[in-house]
Amino acid sequence: MNANRVKQILSSPADVEVKYNGVSVWIDKLNEDGTTATVHLRGPLEERTIVNISELQEE
């Protein structure tokens, strides 16, 4: 995934499914470096992780 698509997903009212290592995640924000994003797992756990946006996959 690229930075422009991450921005589109963040601004979209639609529920866009994104996966990281095969696990469904929410994107919280695109980080200032433009190559990483803060994400958290869908569900009750809200632990946030910084991941490289190239590893995110839109379903």
- What pLDDT score does 50 carry? 97
Q: What is the pLDDT of residues 1-47, one digit of tens each?
A: 999 999 999 999 999 999 999 999 999 999 999 999 999 988 777 78
User: Rounded CA gap, 55 and 23, in Å?
Assistant: 11
The pLDDT assigned to 25 comes to: 95
pLDDT at residue 8 in the model: 97
Order of strands across the sheet with 23-30? Answer: 48-52, 36-41, 23-30, 18-20, 56-58
Domain 3-58 sits in CATH 1.20.1510: no
Residue spans per domain, the chain = 3-58
- Helix locations, the chain, DSSP H: 3-11
